[in-house]
Amino acid sequence: MEKYVIVGGNSLSGKVRLSGGKNSVLTILPACLLSKGVCTIHDVPRLSDVFVMKEVLECLGARVDFSGNTMVVDSSQVTSIEVPDRLTRLMRASNLVMGPMLSRFGQAKLAYPGGCSIGSRPMDQHLRGMKTLGAQIIEKHGYIEGKATKLQGGEICLDFPSVGATENIIMAATLAKGTTILRNAAREPEIVDLQNFLNSMGTKIKGAGTDIIRIEGVRELGSVEHTIIPDRIEAGTFLTIAAINQSDIYIDNIIPEHLEAVIAKVRETGVEIYEEANGIRVISNQRTKGIDFKTMPFPGFPTDMQAQVMVLMAVSEGTSIITENIFENRFKHVDELRRMGADIRVEGRVCIVKGVKKLSGAYVETSDLRAGSALVIAGLVAEGATVVANIYHIDRGYENFEQKLRGLGAQILRVNGTKER
Ligand code: EPZ
For residue 296, how far is its CA from the centre of ligand 1 (angstroms)? 11
Atom of ligand 1 nearest to the CA of 161: 24
304 lines ligand 1 (CB under 6 A): yes
Is the pLDDT confidence value at 16 over 90? Answer: yes
Question: CA–CA distance from 32 to each of 147, 157, 409 (Å)?
Answer: 20, 26, 39
373 lines ligand 1 (CB under 6 A): no
CB count within 10 Å of CB 378 equals 33
Q: Which atom of ligand 1 is nearest to the CA of 126?
A: 40
Q: Once rounded to an integer, what is the mean pLDDT over residues 71-88?
A: 92
Of 113-117, 185-189, 248-252, 357-361, least confident by mean pLDDT is 113-117
Report which ligand 1 atom has the smallest distance to the Cα of 297: 12
> What is the distance in A from the centroid of ligand 1 to the CA of 35?
26
Q: Is 119 in the pocket of ligand 1 (CB under 6 A)?
A: yes
Q: Is the CB of 342 under 6 A from ligand 1?
A: no
Q: 73: which strand partners?
A: 39, 64
How remote is the CA of residue 419 from the centroid of ligand 1, in Å?
Answer: 35
How do residues 311-354 score in pLDDT, each as one tens digit?
999 999 999 999 999 999 999 999 999 999 999 999 999 999 99
| C-alpha to C-alpha distances, 265 to 35, 136, 187, 292, nearest whole angstrom | 41, 45, 20, 9
For ligand 1, whether the C-beta of 122 sits within 6 Å is yes
In angstroms, the CA 148 to CA 146 distance is 7
**Cβ partners under 8 Å of residue 41, min gap 6:** 25, 28, 29, 32, 70, 71, 72, 73, 225, 226, 227, 228
Ligand 1 atom closest to Cα of residue 298: 12
User: Contact, 134 vs 113, CB < 8 A?
Assistant: no
| Residue closest by Cα to atom 41 of ligand 1 | 162
The Cα–Cα gap between 241 and 321 comes to 20
User: Each residue of 227-251: pLDDT tens digit?
Assistant: 999 999 999 999 999 999 989 999 9
Task: Give me the chain's average pLDDT, please.
Answer: 96
* Substitution candidate for ligand 1 out of 19, 22, 23, 303 with most atoms within 8 A of CB: 23
Beta carbon of 326 within 6 Å of any ligand 1 atom: yes
pLDDT above 70: percentage of residues in the chain = 98
* DSSP-derived secondary structure for 154-201: -EEE-SS--HHHHHHHHHHHHTSBSEEEEES----HHHHHHHHHHHTT
> CA-to-CA distance for 215 and 223, rounded, in angstroms?
19
Q: How many residues does the chain have?
A: 421
Catalytic residue among 32, 59, 116, 157: 116
Residue located nearest, by CA, to atom 26 of ligand 1: 121
- By DSSP bridging, strand 143-147 and strand 136-140 are antiparallel
Q: Are the C-beta atoms of residues 118 and 154 closer than 8 Å to each other?
A: no
**Catalytic residue check, 116:** yes
Say if CB 211 and CB 184 are below 8 A apart: yes
To the question of pTM greater than 0.85 for the whole model, the response is: yes
